[in-house]
Homo-oligomer: A and B are copies of this chain.
Amino acid sequence: MQKDTLCLGLLSLGPRSGYEIKQMFEGPLSDFYSLSFGTIYPTLNKLQSEKYVSCKQLSQSKKPDKKVYTITKKGKDLMKENLLGDASAYIRSGNFGDQIKSEFFLLLLFAKYLPKETLETVLNERVLFLQQKLEQFKYDGPVPSDLQALRNEKSITFIRGLATTLIESGLTYMEKNREKLN
């Protein structure tokens, strides 16, 4: 997805600064997508210069100033147009373009070159890591106010449920089949 569309989409959930957009990527979206500051800030500047977003400089007591961006009518139109265009492209290609770089799977692929104890440790840590992820996705308590908008999205409920299901079945599989790696 184009970075422009993505930033506009996140701004459609409410006005936000570049820093707060980054927090969404580092928090609730971290398992699905990510953009760096080096992408976010130039994108916001470009979107502003083309009137897809407006910007208010906010001086905060107790914190540095921040620039809060708000999506404009023009921006919302562009976002919808791009989403529709992207969706059709995915349908036409029959491929949803998911791009995965899994260090863990690569490590498993070359597992035979690891000392046995190292492999054991890696698998144990992976299980612990997945259990933590599971807790994260299941967590239903309060979240920081600027992340609440994401939490309120219906689609996030669907996605969190899916992630929970996937991790649970992955964990079960790993526990049942880990001896296949020996």
Contacts and interface: CB of A to CB of B under 8 A. Distances in A.
Interface of A: 1, 6, 9, 12, 31-34, 79-80, 83-84, 86-88, 90-91, 94-115, 118, 121-122, 125-126, 128-129, 153-159, 161-162, 165-166, 168-170, 172-174, 177-178, 180-181
B99 A100 contact: yes
Contacts of A34: 99, 101
- Tell me what chain A mostly uses at the interface: helix, strand, loop, or mixed: helix
Given A90-B125, A155-B108, A1 B100 contact: no
A161 B169 CA distance: 12
A60 to B, nearest CB: 28
Contacts of A31: 100
